[in-house]
Chains A and B, each alone.
Chain A
């Protein structure tokens, strides 16, 4: 029969993970963000190679060095991010890399039947093989991506979050197709955050946490609660220093905010002297909420009030009105990594100034040195390039910028991503101090535990819709996860 065994040595991403899929089985691979699901799949599809461990298909050793070899070995991937070439047609995309040819000459139409039938399998005969992909909707592109995995009859098919951009009807078709693949005796790995999807499509499950398989079983024998607690697990208690603080006046009031980037409906009230947390899965619209309030993402409808006054966001105006934002993507957006610590730290403060005003470089340096000391940023001076700092110190520069601006409300998107435990604790303490200084903090994080540790109230985002706020005492990791994967009504 057919099986996939994998075991890896001591890496951070994966530590001895094993996965076994039988022919005719749909196995769900679930886990929190960063649990190692994607790493595992990247190894299986030949994008990365394992440090140790083996993969077997039909009992034969299999070690793909690149995606081409993985495909030839019989593994087809449906990626979470769209991996279609927009300028090519549907057919060219489906056959990309394995074009039917003779002597190097492409023979289009040779496999037309195959192309048409795999699109028909998805219930979308309306997608013409000769249409350029650029003319298709996002959902249709996702279907093209799926059809590509079907067209070559691969014995193993991996779906990585295939439904994130599909509508209800397309999801139903996809599940029918997966049912058909099962009857065809293919082996299917289905990765998803959405437990309700997993329960309706999969036969068995494997939970991955911190790079380790923590449990597996049959869907029919497992309750939703069991799956959620498997995903969260128990982790080392971290330090969350609490500074006493008192909730003050309303600082930001957001109603029915909708952005052009996918946030559907969000309402929240942030008070002075409080930390409000936004939980949710990656792609649920958490970041878009902060970006919408700050003015980086286009607002489509809804209203934002700042201390009672109506506010039309735009980054320059936001800073002037006392809003500060720290991006989740430090290297690409949060910091200009090729510029110095001093320039990065003071850039926000210069934004509204007249073009021809002269910078007080000496005074600026002195101020920057004060921040370097107060935040304990490990650098040899204000002129060091940010690129050469460690992740934790880079994040401190980004956060010090907000303090240098002396803003009233701080919007933090994943403030502890990719930084060491020591720096994390410092960031938590700093957030608590801000609230104690009568400022408002709105923080997005993937770590439920972190939110529970630092927030006063938490709201959960699910597929672009923000649930109601509840005091932190009324939440636990389990209820947060249930809301994040199933929406508010599941709570």
Chain B
């Protein structure tokens, strides 16, 4: 098997294959509930928040790190976007405030990790609580709801991005944004110096150091990038809720990490795929959509999603053992 490009393609397609399998299985057992185009479109919109954050998380996990604070960053960014709109900064002001807040949070994560030499798990476990607290503080412990006429119109502008469209229309703008971000993230991982260094650090940090890679700056850049994308996800969440809710996106970090892992990433770093992470995120939303469509209760979905993660990693481990032999 001397076709690594082909093999890589197959392994990055595997999670998409998982999506197809899930849809087919449900179709076989519930032929009266097919996956309609409308369902696909609503699934796509529901994937936006987790998907955007998963692109950044892929970079972090590829570098051998982890970011547990992503849920809190999404909430805080949503709140700051809402506050900016409320303060009359306009549509782009709101988007920039959210994205900027996310990037700052990510940079702080990175600085804590390299400055205090903390394990990323611990550093981001700490900031997970910290950012959540900040979100509640700046939002005065309640949802931020831009109420005057201009504020409402800007909110509506953002909400327009993540709206589920009526029949006859194509994809929501947020879905295009997700696709573009994913492609850009995948491209940059392979074609830019930052991407190359991210993979090198995750695969063997000692080698990267020996080769003169600036480990500290690179790590801060990676976490900032992940924060920025979490900020963008936060803006999208604000659009969907039309309020900045400091208690939203609780526990979403586990969905994001699960998406990346289902997408073929290794938590020990050096291995992963941005496209795979998107597929992983899609797989989870499709599964939720199907379970709802056939009236399975929520807890069944949770039980199934849990085992999909286990299965994805088990298959991966099995493949690694086979190729090493």
Contact = CB atoms under 8 A, between A and B. Distances in A.
Interface stretch (A132-140, A172-180, A355-363): A355-363
A228 B212 CA distance: 41
Interface string A348-383: 101111111111010000000000000000001101
A332 B209 CA distance: 12
A325 B193 contact: no
Interface stretch (B29-37, B113-121, B199-207): B199-207
A456 to B, nearest CB: 26
A334 interface: yes
B250 to A, nearest CB: 33
B5 A383 contact: yes
Interface string B270-310: 11000000000000000000000000000000000000000
B321 to A, nearest CB: 13
A437 interface: no
Given A336-B203, A356-B193, A359-B193, A347 B270 contact: no
Given A336-B204, A338-B203, A296 B210 contact: yes
A296 B194 contact: no
Contacts of A380: 2
Interface string A321-361: 00001010000111111111001100110111111111101
A334 B213 CA distance: 13
Interface in B1-46: 2, 4-5
Given A338-B271, A357-B193, A316 B212 contact: yes
B210 A325 contact: yes
B109 interface: no
A318 interface: yes
A338 B270 contact: yes
Contacts of A327: 206, 210
B192 A296 contact: no
A315 interface: yes
A333 B209 CA distance: 9
B1 to A, nearest CB: 11
A340 to B, nearest CB: 8
A296 B218 CA distance: 18
A284 B213 CA distance: 29
B213 A351 contact: yes
Interface string B160-182: 00000000000000000000000
B212 A318 contact: yes
Contacts of A296: 209-210
B134 interface: no
Nearest to A337: B204
A347 B208 contact: yes
A339 B203 contact: yes
Contacts of A319: 211-212
Interface string B210-221: 111110011001
B192 A401 contact: no
Contacts of B192: 355-359
Given A338-B271, A361-B191, A343 B200 contact: yes
B212 A352 contact: yes
B191 A334 contact: no
Contacts of B194: 355-356
B212 A348 contact: yes
A336 B205 CA distance: 8
Contacts of A352: 212
Interface residues of B, number: 29
Nearest to A383: B4
Contacts of A320: 212
Nearest to A348: B211
A438 B190 CA distance: 36
B240 interface: no
Nearest to B198: A355
Among B2, B193, B200, B271, the one with the most A-chain Cβ atoms within 10 Å of its Cβ is B193
A468 to B, nearest CB: 30
Nearest to B217: A355
Interface in A34-48: none
B199 A401 contact: no
Interface in B136-163: none
A362 to B, nearest CB: 11
Contact of A347 (B4, B191, B196): B196
Contacts of B221: 355
A327 B2 CA distance: 29
Interface in B309-325: 324
B270 A336 contact: yes
B197 interface: yes
Contacts of B210: 296, 315, 325, 327, 333-334
B207 A347 contact: yes
A333 B271 CA distance: 18
Interface in B203-252: 203-204, 206-214, 217-218, 221
A409 to B, nearest CB: 14
Nearest to A335: B207
Given A318-B212, A336-B200, A338-B271, A350 B193 contact: yes
A355 B193 contact: yes
A331 B211 CA distance: 14
B211 A401 contact: yes
Contacts of B200: 336, 339, 343, 347
Contact of B196 (A325, A350, A381): A350
A387 B203 CA distance: 12
A351 B214 contact: yes
A353 B212 CA distance: 10
Contacts of B191: 358-359, 361
Among B5, B191, B196, B324, the one with the most A-chain Cβ atoms within 10 Å of its Cβ is B196
17 contacts: A296-B209, A315-B212, A319-B212, A320-B212, A332-B204, A336-B200, A336-B203, A336-B270, A339-B203, A339-B270, A343-B199, A347-B196, A347-B207, A350-B213, A351-B211, A351-B214, A355-B218
Given A333-B207, A336-B207, A350-B213, 11 more contacts: A316-B213, A333-B204, A333-B210, A335-B204, A338-B270, A339-B203, A351-B197, A355-B194, A356-B192, A361-B190, A383-B5
Interface of A: 296, 315-320, 325, 327, 332-340, 343-344, 347-348, 350-359, 361, 380-381, 383-384, 387, 401
